[in-house]
Amino acid sequence: MIVLGIESSCDETAAAVVRNGCEVLASVVASQVAVHHPYGGVVPELASRKHIEAIVPVVDQAIAESGIPAKKIDGVAVTQGPGLIGSLLVGFSFAKGFAFGHGIPWVGVDHLEGHINSVFLEADPPAFPFVALLVSGGHTSIYHVTSHRDFHPMGQTRDDAAGEAYDKVAKMLGLGYPGGVVIDRLAAQGDPTKVVFTRPYLDKAEFDFSFSGIKSAVMRHLQLHPDPSPGDQADIAAGFQAAVVDVLTFKIIHAAKAKGCAHLAVVGGVAANRGLREAVTRDAAADGIRVHIPSIELCGDNAAMVAAVGYHRLATGERAGLDDDVYSRVKFRPRG
Ligand code: ATP
Ligand code: MG
Ligand code: FE
């Protein structure tokens, strides 16, 4: 089955063509980073307008690159929420129109379910059950995943998402937006032992997170030591990253052990972090746990992960209706 995936929940317009929920034939992502950069964050109204400009060329490009004629597409999967309403509506309305026009079925997909299923786009995917750390710009949660559709929440952040903390710390250091990639790069040049930050909940036998404390600790450090040199900036970035990575790594491995899972997954935008990838891979190996982290292109927002979820929905006969609508807040209520 060939599924066209469409994603427009935030500031990326993305389309992908995926065969049987696992083989990516084409995946195109048009980023709006340059549009929002001057404002230090995503401006919703600008995002919607840019999605409107990008959606048709991005879908055309994905179909052209896939080598599959549009007539051979069997169904459409589109992100329904959570995200920015104006942004979601562009992809969602386009998907409805595309499916209706081609006389093919379509389904709405939850963005977070998409991130979790991104590991199935890689060779040698995890076996069920496994535990997944979803770590992105808006979410930081751990799930016990028992099927493509069944995710049981084990813990989540009580305040900021990890990606949000990365972006805020980057802003404090004057490194621009979005900050995750920049801090990741800078951290590799710094000494993580020079400035040591708090590691909230590291010692507790539960799976909730808190990142606002680490963020505030960075702020206090900068108040006491203003105007850091480039070397100091690298040390602060390294210290911050070490704190975040320690907590994330400890919790997901602890979750795998608590559930007796031989496989764990790390997904979402922050899964692109080199420090996190290395730490989880190293520490899990010591416990004989297999680690699944998508390639960098599939960590950030993309439409291939949406198509992967859509495949399973469409294959079991699920269909959306023309009067279905988008949703902005987490709706994703894991079953069971
Ligand atoms: P959500 O998926 O929760 O709805 P989102 O879609 O905005 O939110 P993603 O696109 O999945 O989030 O991830 C974006 C986040 O990932 C940003 O906060 C960004 O700074 C962070 N990020 C990207 N690359 C890295 C990296 N290498 N290290 C750390 N953080 C990173
Ligand atoms: Mg984004
Ligand atoms: Fe996302």
133 alpha carbon, distance to own chain's centre: 10
| pLDDT band, very low/low/confident/very high, at 2 (cuts 50, 70, 90) | very high
Q: State both tokens at 146.
A: 């028992």
**Selection from 326, 333, 336, 335 nearest residue 81 by Cα:** 326
**Selection from 81, 127, 122, 78 nearest residue 98 by Cα:** 78
Residue with tokens 């696992």: 22
Q: Is 83 left (phi over 0), alpha (psi -120 to 50) or beta?
A: left
Confidence at residue 177, expressed as pLDDT on a 0 to 100 scale: 84
Confidence at residue 231, expressed as pLDDT on a 0 to 100 scale: 97
* DSSP assignments along 159-186, one per residue: S--HHHHHHHHHHHTT--SS-HHHHHHH
CATH number of this structure's domain 125-293? 3.30.420.40
| pLDDT band, very low/low/confident/very high, at 332 (cuts 50, 70, 90) | low
- In the chain, the amino acid numbered 319 is R
Confidence at residue 137, expressed as pLDDT on a 0 to 100 scale: 94
Considering only CA atoms, which residue is closest to atom 27 of ligand 1?
A: 273
Confidence at residue 234, expressed as pLDDT on a 0 to 100 scale: 98
Name which residue leads in pLDDT, 113 or 329. Answer: 113
| Domain regions of the chain by residue span | 2-116+298-315, 125-293
Confidence at residue 205, expressed as pLDDT on a 0 to 100 scale: 78
Q: In percent, how much of the chain has pLDDT > 90?
A: 93
Confidence at residue 336, expressed as pLDDT on a 0 to 100 scale: 35
Backbone φ, ψ for residue 290 (5° rounding): -85, 135
Q: Is 20 annotated to bind ligand?
A: no
Considering only CA atoms, which residue is closest to atom 11 of ligand 1?
A: 269
Q: Do the domains spanning 2-116+298-315 and 125-293 agree at the CATH topology level?
A: yes
| pLDDT band, very low/low/confident/very high, at 41 (cuts 50, 70, 90) | confident
Ligand 1 site, CB within 6 A: 10, 111, 115, 136-139, 163, 166-167, 178-181, 184, 268-270, 272-273, 300-301
Our mutation pick for probing the ligand 1 site, out of 88, 166, 267, counting the most ligand atoms within 8 A of Cβ, is 166
- Over residues 52-74, the mean pLDDT reads 98
3-state SS track over 98-156: HHHHHCCCEEEEEHHHHHHHHHHHCCCCCCCCEEEEEECCCCEEEEEECCCCCEEEEEE
Q: What is the pLDDT of residues 220-232, one digit of tens each?
A: 999 999 999 999 9
Q: What is the pLDDT of residues 113-124, one digit of tens each?
A: 999 999 999 999
Q: Is 213 annotated to bind ligand?
A: no
Q: Is 295 annotated to bind ligand?
A: no
pLDDT at 202 over 90: no
| pLDDT band, very low/low/confident/very high, at 335 (cuts 50, 70, 90) | very low
What is the C-alpha to C-alpha distance for residues 260 and 325, in angstroms, rounded to an integer? 39
CATH 3.30.420.40 fits 2-116+298-315, yes or no: yes
Q: What is the DSSP letter of 268?
A: S
Q: What is the pLDDT of residues 292-309, one digit of tens each?
A: 999 999 999 999 999 999
- Over residues 25-30, the mean pLDDT reads 98
Average pLDDT, the chain: 95
pTM of this prediction?
0.95
Helix (H, G, I), strand (E, B) or coil at 266: strand
pLDDT at 73 over 80: yes
Q: Is 102 annotated to bind ligand?
A: no
Our mutation pick for probing the ligand 1 site, out of 112, 134, 135, 136, counting the most ligand atoms within 8 A of Cβ, is 136
Helix (H, G, I), strand (E, B) or coil at 44: helix
Considering only CA atoms, which residue is closest to atom 5 of ligand 1?
A: 137
Confidence at residue 263, expressed as pLDDT on a 0 to 100 scale: 98
- Over residues 279-302, the mean pLDDT reads 98
